[in-house]
Amino acid sequence: MVKAKFIITATVCTMLSPAMAQSVADFYTETWENGVTRNVVEDYNADGTDALDDSAAFQRAIDELTQKKNGGKLMVPTGTYYLYKVALKSNVHLAFEKDVVLRPLPRGGFLFTAGMGNDTVENVSFRGIDGKVTADFREMSPDTKVTVINLQNVDNFLIRNMRTLDNFTVHSSIRMNVADTDQGARFARNGFVSDIDNTNAHVGYGTIQVNAGKNILFQNISGSGGVQLRLESGANFKGEIEGSIFDIVGRNISGSNGNAVVMISPHCRKNGLVDIDGVTSHSSVHAVRVDIGDTKNGPTPGYFDSNSRVSNVKAFYGTTAQLKHGHFRWIPPELKSQISRQKNPDGSSYSGPAAAAIKYTCGGTGPGTFKVKLENIEQIGFEYQPKKILTPADEFRKGR
């Protein structure tokens, strides 16, 4: 077996707010070279050649490696592995070799989890080392709830080089949420997520959904359907929590045929800074949507820090966006006839025309309002919508 090598060289070059980090090292500390190396097939009898559940073999390997003084890396050789709720643990790095395919069991659910309990999971990674590891959901029915990785009480993590072949299933490919611990709310912090792609996402979900997270860099994120980077602090949480999304940086986020490429939605949470630079949309309803705070999951509307910004957005018009009924009001009357009468395979959306580069409903004064600085916005081919930034004053009639 050839020893795998992986070096992080990426740098965030654009100028950020003084409160924000500027290089990968400000988000994630590499511990890849520490510890021992094991192989999940040779050492733990996982079988990448059949359709049987490999979860127990993966879990035995992770449980053993986390007990080592410096942890270690678990090599996953070429093959197809069926998994359910494998718990990542501290100081363990999963390294997927060329052409690895991960598949869920028929019930769906999480393939991998990290930090769902009291104990913080530290210094973990999940990476393709000879190209992208593939999560294949194409055999799942669209109403199945399935996620590749769910992160909660995790500190110092990396996810890199992964693609999901979806079938409009429920939930995003990568999810970050709140852990209800004995010490109160805990959520994913200090992470680097890079080179992630998905296809055929459900309109209400997408590539990455962040309900809670702090100091995380998302770079080179792409996909079709849903939302590629969904910053939506919408998770219900029984304990007291003021905000759940802080110091998030996004670089080079692109998407097509979906709801939006980037979504910023606070609901009731009082959130921190978001800095997005480089958004490209092809036939999505909007390239970016910034929503006013509401009381969906709490008593008072929330917001994001008004030093937040979104820069360098390019939206290309198309007629294959995913529209829910609430989106119809943003479509000019001349184009409403192009909204399909038949639902998409996700069962929740309709195919139709893109609306505009930006939907911005958070402006003004009063509860739930806040400012996000919008810079260098471009849209191409929007014949009936000259405005690049739509506010509530720009709504057309509801419905078709």
What is the Cα 205 distance to its own chain's centre? 9
Closest to 333 measured CA to CA, from 396, 388, 271, 258 = 396
pLDDT tens digits along 182-200? 888 899 999 999 999 999 9
Is 296 strand, coil or helix? coil
Low-confidence ranges of the chain (pLDDT < 50): 1-19
H helix intervals, 240-315:
none
Give the pLDDT confidence score for residue 9 in this predicted structure.
40
Instruction: Report the largest interatomic distance among the alpha carbons of the chain, rounded to a whole angstrom.
Output: 66
Q: Which letter, b or e, does each residue of 12-43 get, where b requires 16 or more Cβ atoms within 10 Å of its Cβ?
A: beeebbeebbbebebbbebbbeebeebbbbee
Task: Decide yes or no: CATH 1.10.3720.10 for domain 24-394.
Answer: no
d(CA 302, CA 279): 24
d(CA 332, CA 216): 37
Q: Which helix (H) or strand (E) holds 135?
A: strand 133-136
Give the pLDDT confidence score for residue 234 in this predicted structure.
72
d(CA 271, CA 265): 10
pLDDT tens digits along 138-158? 999 999 999 999 999 999 999
User: Which residues touch 93 (CB under 8 Å, ≥6 apart)?
Assistant: 31, 32, 71, 72, 73, 74, 124, 125, 126, 127
Contact between residue 302 and residue 269 where contact means Cβ atoms under 8 Å apart:
yes
Neighbours of 50 (CB within 10 A): 11
Q: Which letter, b or e, does each residue of 156-166 get, where b requires 16 or more Cβ atoms within 10 Å of its Cβ?
A: bbbbbbbbbbb
User: Which residues touch 67 (CB under 8 Å, ≥6 apart)?
Assistant: none
Kindly state the tokens that stand for 81.
């592995």
